[in-house]
Amino acid sequence: MIILKTPEEIEKMRIAGRLTSEVLDMITEYVKPGVTTNELNDICHDYIVNVQQAIPAPLNYKGFPKSICTSINYTVCHGIPDDKKLKEGDIINIDITVIKNGYHGDASRMFYVGEPTIRAKRLSEITYQCLCLGIAQVKPGNRFGDIGATIQRHATLNSYTVVQEYCGHGIGRSFHEDPQVLHYGKAGTGAILAPGMIFTIEPMINSGKRQVKLLSDKWTVVTKDRSLSAQWEHTVLVTSTGVEVLTKGQHENF
């Protein structure tokens, strides 16, 4: 069942979303060659807990051992921070979920470590365009299938593939609620969007084939063919007239 949020809940979700975005803004300057993802994790953890007086949702979620997810190059999602140093030319997705006053904000961004390759930069940019095109489909009366179909079309037109095993999700008091928000599919299908719905859109786009595999740690997901993967994510609210992006970054216009 899709939970429609009350005005009071929406206000709390706005706060959680803003805090999530602020963590991503804050960590940007630290993403550079030589830093470890453990160091990035510790900086984010301290900021969320001590500055924001909030809770990092991933920590101990179903046993996840860290406060953020860091997915590098051919890692699709749920990468666990460790002591390996980032190197020039890497691309990394940092996924942040903050709990404030019992409500969740969830967003992720791609970051370049030094100067990216042309291939990596293009993949990241097209993936961001996929997210934005998906968000543009969010308005009352549209269907969830419209979001997925739009994302898949743009990825395919650019010779990329859409990961199908992982998707966006409803969010609120719980980290993951109904519905599942697919990043592929058929326009005109799925549940109808209605004001008060809040969910994430978070396309994972591969430069090679769409198939993925789960590593032995039971969290890290990588592309089967070791091709590059990129992901961007926002938490969005369906309003009476369209969409409000609750995790909008300081340089973004929606």
pLDDT, one tens digit per residue, over 212-239 is 999 999 999 999 999 999 999 999 999 9
Mean pLDDT, residues 128-150: 98
- Contacts of 29-35 with CB under 8 Å at 24 or more apart are 31/86, 31/92, 31/94, 31/111, 31/112, 31/113, 32/86, 32/113, 32/114, 33/85, 33/86, 33/87, 33/88, 33/113, 33/114, 34/85, 34/86, 35/85, 35/86
Phi/psi of residue 90, nearest 5 degrees: -65, 155
Listed residue (29, 4, 47) closest to 198, CA to CA = 4
Instruction: Tell me the pLDDT of the chain averaged across its residues.
Output: 98
- Whether pLDDT at 254 is above 90: no
Q: Domains in the chain, ordered, with CATH?
A: 7-245 (3.90.230.10)
Task: Write the CA distances from 198 to 3, 42, 150, integer angstroms.
Answer: 8, 29, 19
- Tens of pLDDT, residue by residue over 46-63, are 999 999 999 999 999 999
Q: What is the pLDDT of residue 23?
A: 98
- Tens of pLDDT, residue by residue over 26-53, are 999 999 999 999 999 999 999 999 999 9
Contacts of 247 (CB under 8 A, 6+ apart): 17, 18, 20, 21, 105, 106, 107, 233, 234, 235
Contacts of 31 (CB under 8 A, 6+ apart): 40, 86, 92, 94, 111, 112, 113
* pLDDT band at residue 186 under the 50/70/90 scheme: very high
CA atoms of 95 and 99, how far apart (whole Å): 14
